[in-house]
Amino acid sequence: MKLSSFSNCFLYAMGLLVCLPQAYILRTQWQDWRACTTAGQALDRYEVATALTDQVMAEYEPTGMVLVHDTPAHRNALSRARQTTDSALRRLTILLDPVQDASGSDRLSLATTRRALDEARTDIDSLAMGKEHCEDGDTQGPLQYFTAVIDTLQPPMIDQAAQITQVTPGVYELLTGANQLSLISHYARQLRMQLIPALTTGCPITHAETDALLRLRGQIEEHHKALVQRLRPYRDQPALEQAYLSAETRYFNEALSEVDDLLISHRDTIVDKERFQRVYNQGLGPLGNMRSVMLQLARQQIQRQSHQALIMFYTAVAASMATLGLLLLVGFFFRHRVLNALADTNETLKAFARGHFNVPLPDRHHHDEIGETLHALAVLRANNLERLSLQEDRERLISQLRQQAETDFLTGLANRQATQRVGRQMLAAARRGTGDLSLILFDIDNFKQINDQYGHAVGDQVLALVAALCKEQVRQSDLIGRHGGEEFLILSQPCSLADATAQAERLRAALEACPLRLPDSAGIPFTASFGVATLNATQNLDQLIHDADSAMYEAKKGGRNRVCAYRHGAGQAELHNC
Amino acid type, 92: L
Longest dimension (CA), the chain: 148
Look at residue 135 in the predicted model and tell me its pLDDT. Answer: 44
The dihedrals phi and psi of 25, each to the nearest 5 degrees, come to -65, -45
Q: List, in sequence order, every residue forming a beta bridge with 576; answer none if it has no partner.
A: 563
3-state secondary structure 68-98: HCCCHHHHHHHHHHHHHHHHHHHHHHHHHHH
Q: List, in sequence order, every residue forming a beta bridge with 487; answer none if it has no partner.
A: 443, 484
**Radius of gyration for the chain, computed over Cα atoms and rounded to the nearest angstrom:** 54
Contact 192, 270 (CB under 8 A): no
Contact 551, 566 (CB under 8 A): yes
Q: How far apart are CA 353 and CA 330, in angstroms?
A: 33
Contact 26, 316 (CB under 8 A): yes
Q: Which residues contact 345 (CB under 8 A, 6 or more apart)?
A: 362, 370, 373, 374, 377
Look at residue 257 in the predicted model and tell me its pLDDT. Answer: 87
Measured over the CA atoms of residue 406, residue 412, residue 415 and residue 420, the dihedral's sign is positive
237 DSSP 8-state letter: -
Rounded to whole angstroms, what are the CA distances from 345 to 23, 356, 361, 372, 517?
Answer: 39, 14, 8, 11, 67
H/E run at residue 6:
helix 3-58
Query: In sequence order, what DSSP letters do the residues of 489-556 get, joined into one string?
Result: EEEESS--HHHHHHHHHHHHHHHHT-PEEETTEEEE---EEEEEEE--TT--HHHHHHHHHHHHHHHH
Contact 182, 50 (CB under 8 A): yes
Q: How far apart are CA 498 and CA 506, in angstroms?
A: 12
CA atoms within 13 A on the CB side of 246: 16
Contact 81, 58 (CB under 8 A): yes
3-state secondary structure 444-500: ECCHHHHHHHHCHHHHHHHHHHHHHHHHHHCCCCCEEEEEECCEEEEEECCCCHHHH
Q: Which residues contact 445 (CB under 8 A, 6 or more apart)?
A: 526, 527, 528, 529, 556, 560, 561
pTM above 0.85, yes or no: no
Rounded to whole angstroms, what are the CA distances from 297 to 196, 287, 301?
Answer: 36, 16, 6
Measured over the CA atoms of residue 499, residue 503, residue 504 and residue 505, the dihedral's sign is positive
Give the β-pairing of 487-492 and 479-484.
Answer: antiparallel
Torsion of Cα atoms, 174 then 179 then 182 then 183, to 10°: -130
The dihedrals phi and psi of 267, each to the nearest 5 degrees, come to -80, 150
Q: How far apart are CA 105 and CA 161, in angstroms?
A: 15
Query: In sequence order, what DSSP letters do the residues of 108-121 get, joined into one string?
Result: HHHHHHHHHHHHHH
Look at residue 391 in the predicted model and tell me its pLDDT. Answer: 78
Is cis: bond before 494, omega within 30 of 0? yes
Query: CATH number of the domain at 416-576, out of 3.40.50.720, 3.30.450.20, 3.30.70.270, 3.40.640.10?
Result: 3.30.70.270
Look at residue 102 in the predicted model and tell me its pLDDT. Answer: 36
Q: How far apart are CA 439 and CA 474, in angstroms?
A: 12
Helix (H, G, I), strand (E, B) or coil at 364: coil
Contact 359, 344 (CB under 8 A): no
Q: List, in sequence order, every residue forming a beta bridge with 524; answer none if it has no partner.
A: 516
Residues of the chain with CATH 3.30.70.270: 416-576
**Degrees, nearest 5: CA angle 51-54-56:** 110
Contact 443, 510 (CB under 8 A): no
pLDDT of the chain along its 578 residues, tens only?
566 677 677 777 877 787 788 788 888 888 888 888 888 888 888 888 787 777 777 777 777 777 766 778 878 887 888 888 888 778 777 776 655 443 445 555 677 777 877 777 787 777 777 554 444 445 555 566 677 777 777 777 777 888 888 888 888 888 888 888 888 888 888 787 777 666 666 667 778 778 888 888 898 899 889 888 888 888 788 988 898 899 889 988 988 888 888 777 766 666 677 788 788 888 888 988 988 888 888 888 888 888 888 888 888 888 888 888 888 888 777 777 777 777 777 777 787 777 676 677 776 666 777 777 777 777 777 777 777 777 778 888 877 777 777 788 888 888 888 888 898 988 888 888 877 899 999 999 999 999 998 899 999 999 999 999 999 988 888 999 998 889 999 999 888 899 999 999 999 999 999 998 887 767 889 999 999 999 887 888 899 999 999 999 999 998 999 999 998 765 454 554 44
Q: How far apart are CA 424 and CA 401, in angstroms?
A: 21
Q: Shortest CA distance to 296 belongs to which of 157, 162, 163, 171?
A: 171
